[in-house]
Amino acid sequence: MKRFFILLFAFALPAAAQTADLKIGFVNTEKVFRDSALAVKAQKKLEKEFQTREQDIQKMMKTAKDLQAALEKEGLTMAEADRNKKQKDLANLSRDIQHAQREFREDLNQRKNEEFSGVQDKARKAIMEIAEKEKFDLIVENVVYASPKVDITDRVLKVLDR
């Protein structure tokens, strides 16, 4: 058993020595998508593009809330036909709101993917540029822990923002 351990140690030692020569970097892609000038510009573009639709949905929700309040306040005293009509209107409005919200989310997600795919492509090019220039052997993203000494996110942001 002792001989096996010594043999295993002899094989592990050269492998450990080889990894010491590796140059490894880490990129926090969440920070790149949040803080880069390209990402901020894309986010503002999306906000501007979808602002009107979001306001329209908010107006519909306020109308539904007001209609619900009127039904609760006056429902017992109004004629049954009027109450039924308002309940039907509220149900239709609620259905329209749900439909508008679903379409809004789908369209926003699609546009977000389109806008941020450009940011991702440029970030990848920046990472490759840094990797080649500084002779990195490995650059990773989405890790549990990375030491600040291997974090190259700020360098990627500088390359992106120039």
- Express each pLDDT in 23-39 by its tens digit: 999 999 999 999 999 99
Q: How far apart are CA 112 and CA 154, in angstroms?
A: 23
Q: Which CATH class is domain 21-161?
A: alpha beta
pLDDT of residue 72: 87
- 152 pLDDT more than 50: yes
Q: What's the chain's average pLDDT?
A: 87
pTM: 0.69
Q: State what percent of residues in the chain have pLDDT above 70.
A: 88
pLDDT of residue 73: 87
CB atoms within 10 A of CB 23: 12
Q: For CA atoms 143, 148, 154, 159, give the dihedral sign.
A: negative
Q: Which amino acid is present at 63?
A: T
Residues 28 and 54: beta-carbon distance below 8 Å = no
Among 37-41, 64-68, 74-78, 155-159, the minimum mean pLDDT is found in 74-78
- 6 pLDDT more than 70: no
CA 127, distance to chain mean position in Å, is: 20
Query: Per-residue confidence at 20, pLDDT binned at 50, 70, 90?
Result: low
Q: Cα-flanking dihedrals φ and ψ of residue 150, to 5°?
A: -105, -5
- 143 pLDDT more than 60: yes
pLDDT average, residue stretch 92-109: 97
The CA-atom distances, in angstroms, between 145 and each of 18, 20, 28, 34 are 22, 19, 11, 19
